[in-house]
Amino acid sequence: MNRLVKFFDGSKNKMILSALFFLVLLLIPIVLRISGYENESYVEGVLILCMMWAAMTLSWDLLMGYMGIWSLAQQVFFGIAAYTSSMMNYYLGMSPWLGFLIAPIVAAVVGGLVAIPVLRLKAAPYIIIATMCLGEIVRLVFTNLVDFTRGELGFWQMEAFDDVFGINMNGADKIPYYYLIFIIFSAITLVCSLIAKSHNGLAMKAIRDSQEAAESLGVNSTEIKIKIFIISAYMAGFCGVFYAHYMKILTPTDMFSQSMMTEFIAMDVFGGIATTRGPVFGAFFLTIIMESLQGLDKYKLLIYAAILMITTLLLPNGVMNSSRTLKLSLLGRLTKHGRTESDIDAEAGNG
């Protein structure tokens, strides 16, 4: 118990909140089913998306948040796993469950490969450009290899997961899928927070703040970076397999273009990087907002971009990390040496 409390930075409140959050998620479908709520499957569908994007954002946050590696290729790991599983199913008739066994490993291998060029680059802009190009190359390769990937056509009508334990997985009832992604999401959350709390987590932050300093203290940055790339891609792979057999439609544009990546960035930055609750909050909040703006389709992305912009300008540490930032800036304004515009500009001159 003490160790558990310690895991939550010694805060019992945090522990209780986290437990409550997962408990509520666990109970929602049951409550909905019992109460006979008519939009049950819609609510479940939204929450499935929330959990899937939260898991993806968490996996990316290991790279960007904890290590400061601005890799914009997370959608590649997701897409590769989705494609692998679909193609195993389509060409070889293998069960989608086997996808969970094999596809994440393929994604992890790709993650290790992506890590290689990124390792040589230190400045964030270089990594951003390199990984953007990588993503685009993958998209084009999947578009062009028509015989193998069916090109722009993509795959659809993949088989659903086979029934297990007598549970019907045909998708008419969303509950089995809900619990499937719940398990994936919980597991990824747990793994991410375990990594963050571990010895390696500390080393990761050290590398982010100063690679030279970290290395001088005996941190093997290359090894940690490769490891995290592989773990991150492996986790994204699970989401990809789930996506393939839940959504049942894959095209190279949907899977590999930058727009999905943009969502992960928005969710992570909005919620607050380098935490567990940040990406989860960001993913849930933005997904729910987007779903509820369905009527305003035209302005949806505009609102999305505005949220992203406003958070970056006003709450650069994200919503979940902001109580301290807000306090500080308020304090600064209230005390006599409040900063003025020209001060801020002058400070900018330093960088």
Partner 1 sequence: MLRIKNLNAYYGDVQVLYDVNVEVNDGEIVTILGSNGAGKTSLMKTICGIETRRKGVIEFNGENLINLPAHKLITRGITLTPEGRHLFPELTVRENLLLGAYAINKKINDTYEKVLEMFPRLKERLSQFAGTMSGGEQQMCAIGRALMSNPTFLMLDEPSLGLAPNIVEQVFDIIKKINKENGITVMVVEQNANIALQTADRAYALENGEIKMSGDAKDMLRSPDIQKLYLGL
Partner 2 sequence: MTVFLQSLINGIISGSYYAVLGIGLTVTWGVLKMINVAHGDFYMLGAYLFYTFSRIAGLPVVPSIIMGVLGVFLVGMLLQRGIIAHALGREAFGNSPFIITLAIGIMLENIAQIIWGENNRGVPYFNETVFEFGGLTMAAQRLIVAAIAFATLIAVMILIKKTRFGWAISATAQDRFSATLMGINTNRIYMVTFGLAVALAAVAGCILAPIYGINPWMGGSVQLKSFVVCIVGGLGSVGGSIVAGILLGIVESFSTQFFGSGWQNVIAYSLVLVMFWVRPEGIFGKKH
Contact set with partner 2 (CB under 8 A): 68, 70, 117, 120-121, 124-126, 128-130, 132-134, 136-137, 140-141, 143-144, 208, 257-258, 262, 265, 269, 298-299, 301-302, 304-306, 308-309, 312-313, 316-317, 344-345, 347-351
Stretch that binds partner 1, among 41-49, 80-88, 263-271, 338-346 (CB under 8 A): 338-346
CB of 340 to partner 1, least distance (A): 8
Rule CB under 8 A: is residue 346 a binding residue for partner 1?
yes
Listed in sequence order, the residues at least 6 apart from 203 whose beta carbon sits closer than 8 Å to its beta carbon are: 214, 219, 224
Rule CB under 8 A: is residue 162 a binding residue for partner 1?
no
Q: Which is nearer to partner 1, 93 or 349 (CB)?
A: 349
Residue with tokens 């997962």: 22
Stretch that binds partner 1, among 8-16, 117-125, 156-164, 343-351 (CB under 8 A): 343-351
Rule CB under 8 A: is residue 35 a binding residue for partner 1?
no
Q: Which is nearer to partner 1, 162 or 347 (CB)?
A: 347
Rule CB under 8 A: is residue 33 a binding residue for partner 1?
no
Within 10 angstroms of residue 132's Cβ, the number of other Cβ atoms is 16
Burial 267-281 (b: 16+ CB within 10 A, else e): bbbbbbbbbbbbbbb
Rule CB under 8 A: is residue 324 a binding residue for partner 1?
no
β-strand partners of 156: 249
Cβ atoms of residues 60 and 268 within 8 Å: yes
Residue 332's binding partner out of partner 1, partner 2, none, with CB under 5 to 8 Å set by partner kind: partner 1
Residue 343's binding partner out of partner 2, partner 1, none, with CB under 5 to 8 Å set by partner kind: partner 1
Residue 217's binding partner out of partner 1, partner 2, none, with CB under 5 to 8 Å set by partner kind: none
Listed in sequence order, the residues at least 6 apart from 139 whose beta carbon sits closer than 8 Å to its beta carbon are: 252, 253, 255, 256, 257
Rule CB under 8 A: is residue 199 a binding residue for partner 1?
no
Residue 199's binding partner out of partner 2, partner 1, none, with CB under 5 to 8 Å set by partner kind: none
Q: Which is nearer to partner 1, 294 or 342 (CB)?
A: 342
Stretch that binds partner 1, among 38-46, 110-118, 195-203, 330-338 (CB under 8 A): 330-338
Residue 141's binding partner out of partner 2, partner 1, none, with CB under 5 to 8 Å set by partner kind: partner 2
Q: Which is nearer to partner 2, 162 or 347 (CB)?
A: 347
- Judged on CB neighbours under 10 Å (0-12, 13-18, 19+), 175 is middle
CB of 123 to partner 2, least distance (A): 9
Residue 126's binding partner out of partner 1, partner 2, none, with CB under 5 to 8 Å set by partner kind: partner 2
Cβ atoms of residues 295 and 113 within 8 Å: no
Residue ranges that bind partner 1, judged by CB under 8 A: 328, 332, 336-337, 339-340, 342-343, 346-347, 349-350
